[in-house]
Amino acid sequence: MDAILETQGLSKQFLGFTAVGDVSLSVRRGSIHGLIGPNGAGKTTCFNLLTKFLPPTSGTIRFNGRDITRMKPAEVARLGLVRSFQISAVFPHLTVLENVRVALQRQRGGSFDFWRSDSVLRRFDARARDLLEDVGLTAFAQRAAGELPYGRKRALEIATTLALEPTMMLLDEPTAGMTAEDVDRIVTLVKRVAEGRTVLMVEHNLKVVEGLCDTITVLTRGRILAEGPYAEVSRNPEVIAAYLGTDPSITGAAAHG
Amino acid sequence: MAGQATAFTATAQQSPGLPGLAALGFNRAQSIAFLLLLGLLLVGPFVLYPVFLMKLLCFALFACAFNLLIGYVGLLSFGHAMFFGMGGYVTAHAAKVWGLTPELAILAGGAVGAVLGVVAGWIAIRRQGIYFAMITLALAQMIFFVCLQAPFTGGEDGIQSVPRGALLGVFSLAQDMSLYWVVAAVFLAGFLLINRIIHSPFGQVLTAIRENEPRAISLGYRVDDYKLMAFTLSATLAGIAGGTKALVFGIATLTDVYWAMSGEVVLMTLVGGLGTVFGPVLGAAVIVSMQNYLAEFGAWVTVIQGCIFVACVLAFRAGIAGQLGRWLRVRL
Ligand SMILES: Nc1ncnc2c1ncn2[C@@H]1O[C@H](COP(=O)(O)OP(=O)(O)OP(=O)(O)O)[C@@H](O)[C@H]1O
Ligand SMILES: [Mg+2]
């Protein structure tokens, strides 16, 4: 298997509490990989470790054949491993267009030219508009990002992430707190943008997971409980037990399966 | 903080600026305010004491430089007196001992601000929030003690009778009026430079960092480098402001490196409106005028200042320019 992202024995302890323990994860290139588990299972912590927002207590991370265990988060992003956040992360007082442009601006390399007018950034406008169109935000281009409804903010985040042309995207609960139509929109969007990239996503909505993910990994209390295709994992009795009482939908889904 | 949020009203609602001035990055309201400011700079010395105005302009530049950090990067430095004060000493020394012309002496003040800024920034920037403020304060205290002890600063006496010299070695600045135009030009250049920085590709990244630092990092920006650059630019301009002030008064003393000076610039910026282009100028005008016209109240000036500060925090959290902008529904 051609793994784009691989971890070996990845662990993170907070003052003795093991949030992530001995996680060896392997994400196949070009796949959409789901990371699921009950609240507090350590999914976000995993993301923070993978993108270097947190240093691991032990273990190694390889991305695209390189050991990134000791890298800084900005360097990891520059290698093409780009994350979104569980809590929507936009630049609220910039316009929607400017939000995307800030990401496109990275193509210039460093932007330390404080003496130049920002009108030089206009050359990114066309591309930014294309990206906004992709996520259905064209009508909002000149609005402040902070004023967008929640679902639109998530869409903006995805557009901003895509602006970097990432090799791999990590999406932390892209559909959390959304209305049904918003969820559908995001699912379609993720499916489309996953063409030619790898996606690792945390998701609580198991319908979404079932529809999108090629492989899923179940995490409970920081450890991997099961891994495999959705149909297989959702039948696993241990997984059902771990979810019982926390999320009835998986037991329901398991029952059909 | 609601007040802060309004001061940073979205660029989305920006109306287009007046032609010409829009190229400087000003919106319509700012263009008008800028023309007003230009008018005041031209008429000012014929109405008010030039020395008073020069002092005001030096502090206004200092506050604008400080605002670049707090208002546009979200970094609260509590040690900016080190750049202002050291700028003053170096300019004074350069003019008096090395005999440099005033423009070079002021540039020397800016250079020392830059060097100190790189070092202090490099140390402080890895820390967040209040720790950042504490470290800048600690570093400024160290500089204060250096200034107290080092022979070249003249200890308690400071560097006195600094010659104003002749601009480019040709135009004598002995007359207040001649010096005034130089000071006004220095202020205006600094003010416009800061505005350019805010509206540059670099400024766009700074805004992103202020708005959501983790997101900026996740987009691949090495945010510490950007912060250090902004810190250094701010320190350089503070050094230039301090140097200019030393030439105006012909003296550089410990007052300008003292921690109270770091507090004063915070006060000016907050009173004027943090994160607004014109706020720091207004804030400096208010505080400097108060110090001048209330001087007869002696120690009470500090108390009155304290009260104004509290009133500002309670009543106009967005500062004068922020509040004014809110009323007029524009961004100043
Ligand atoms: N910085 C931290 N310091 C201490 N404990 C932490 C920290 N971050 C996370 N934790 C703990 O680690 C555990 C895993 O948290 P994490 O946020 O990774 O869970 P999650 O799987 O993302 O949950 P959710 O589905 O609610 O988002 C939780 O018990 C949490 O309290
Ligand atoms: Mg989480």
pLDDT value for A255 = 40
* DSSP state letters, A32-48: EEEEE-STTSSHHHHHH
Whole-angstrom Cα Rg for chain A: 19
pTM for the structure as a whole: 0.87
Mean pLDDT for A132-159 is: 89
Whole-angstrom distance, CA of residue B270 vs CA of residue B71: 10
The burial of B28, by beta-carbon neighbours within 10 Å (0-12 exposed, 13-18 middle, 19 or more buried), is given as middle
Residue, of A67 and A182, whose pLDDT is higher: A67
pLDDT average, residue stretch A202-209: 88
Closest ligand to C-alpha of residue A217 is: 1
List residues of B whose CB lies inside 8 A of any A CB.
5, 8-13, 23, 25, 193, 196-197, 199-205, 207-208, 211-212, 214-223, 225-226, 229, 233
> B309 versus A17: which is more confidently predicted?
A17
Q: Which ligand is nearest to the CA of A55?
A: 1
DSSP H/E element including B226: helix B223-249
Measured from CB, residues less than 6 Å from any atom of ligand 1 are: A 14, 19, 37, 39-45, 86
Domains observed in chain A: 3-87+168-256 (3.40.50.300), 91-147 (no CATH)
Name the residue among B8, B10, B203 with its Cβ closest to that of A118: B203
Identify the pLDDT of residue B12: 39
Closest CA relative to residue B282, chosen from B70, B59, B122: B59
> Please, which residues have CB within 8 angstroms of residue A180's CB and are 6 or more apart in sequence?
none
Mean pLDDT over A132-153 rounds to: 89
pLDDT band of residue B8 (cuts 50, 70, 90) is very low
pLDDT at position B285: 92
> Quick one: what percent of chain B has pLDDT higher than 70?
93
**Any idea which residue has 């969820």 for tokens?**
A183
Say yes or no to pLDDT of A252 above 60: no
The span from the CA of A141 to the CA of A61, in Å, is 38
Our mutation pick for probing the ligand 1 site, out of A18, A45, A175, A224, counting the most ligand atoms within 8 A of Cβ, is: A45
Please tell me what DSSP assigns to residue B150. -
DSSP structural state of residue A120:
G
Domains of chain B: 2-328 (1.10.3470)
CA distance to A83, A256, B266, B290, B318, per residue, from B271 (Å): 39, 66, 9, 12, 8
